[in-house]
Amino acid sequence: MSLSPLTDRLVEALSVLPGVGKKTAQRMALYLLEHNRKGGLQLAKQLNDAMDKVGHCTQCRIHSEEPVCRICRNRSRNQSLVCVVESPADALAVEQSGGFRGVYFVLMGHLSPLDGIGPEQLGISLLVGRVAKGDIKEIIVATNPTVEGEATAHYIADSLREFAVIVSRIAHGVPVGGELEYTDGGTLNHAFSGRKRLD
């Protein structure tokens, strides 16, 4: 069933959002029509603006409507410390943790030869180029601890072997607030091999 052609098309358009099925899209469309038309129009405007204008930072490949993003432009950040992540969402998570004051490099994926994603697609030559300039002291590889993420991390480390740059990998172990009882074996092994002396 359908209410009206325009509403139907709105429901269909809303279904492109991740995690939004037909039923949720219907609820969203009716909510906007009944209670928040101004919000709906504002959303339309922001969507248009963002889809049209947001590109990628030429230095770190994060989403940005300017050639160089806010973070890469920010001189109060440590521009010689680069955190390599798989996606902008990962960069956002690191940023929201509040503990990192360097800059990012976003791969926009991980090595996955079967899907045709190689070093080219991940912009690794861009990263190597930045390191070659000599301004970067340390690269922290924060790809996900999955098979592909680990492979990508090792590839990056290999690519940077010839330069005088420290390449490090974030620690894997028991999450803070986690319980040993419910931690998987792989994580526990990482936690043991990465143990630190208590001083």
Residues that bind its own copies in the complex, under the rule CB under 8 A: 1-7, 9-10, 12-14, 16-19, 24, 26-34, 36-37, 39-54, 62-66, 69-70, 87-89, 91-92, 95-96, 108
Instruction: Output 4 or 76, the one with its CB closest to its own copies.
Output: 4
Nearer to its own copies (CB atom), residue 87 or residue 187: 87
Q: Which residues pair with 141 in a beta bridge?
A: 84, 169
- Please answer whether residues 135 and 81 qualify as being in contact, where contact means their C-beta atoms are separated by less than 8 angstroms: no
Residue in this structure with the two tokens 């028991």, named with its chain if needed: 174
Please state the closest distance from residue 108 (CB atom) to its own copies, in A.
Answer: 7
Q: Which is nearer to its own copies, 22 or 194 (CB)?
A: 22
Query: Please, what is the minimum distance in Å from the beta carbon of residue 71 to its own copies?
Result: 9
Instruction: Give the residue with the Cβ less far from its own copies, 87 or 183.
Output: 87
Smallest distance, its own copies to C-beta of residue 84, A: 17
Q: What are 103's strand-pairing partners?
A: 82
Nearest-approach distance from CB 91 to its own copies, in angstroms? 8
Residue 65 Cβ vs its own copies, minimum distance, rounded to whole Å:
5
Note whether 106 and 60 are within 8 A (CB): yes
* Residue 56 backbone dihedrals phi, psi, to 5 degrees: -125, 145
> What is the maximal distance between C-alpha atoms in the chain?
70
In terms of CB distance, is 81 or 157 closer to its own copies? Answer: 81
Cα dihedral: 43, 98, 108, 65 (round 10):
50
Helical axes 22-35 vs 5-14, angle rounded to 10°? 120
Token pair 């990465």 in the structure block, residue: 194
φ/ψ (deg, to 5) at 141 = -85, 110
In angstroms, what CA-CA distances link 123 with 46, 56, 174?
29, 12, 31
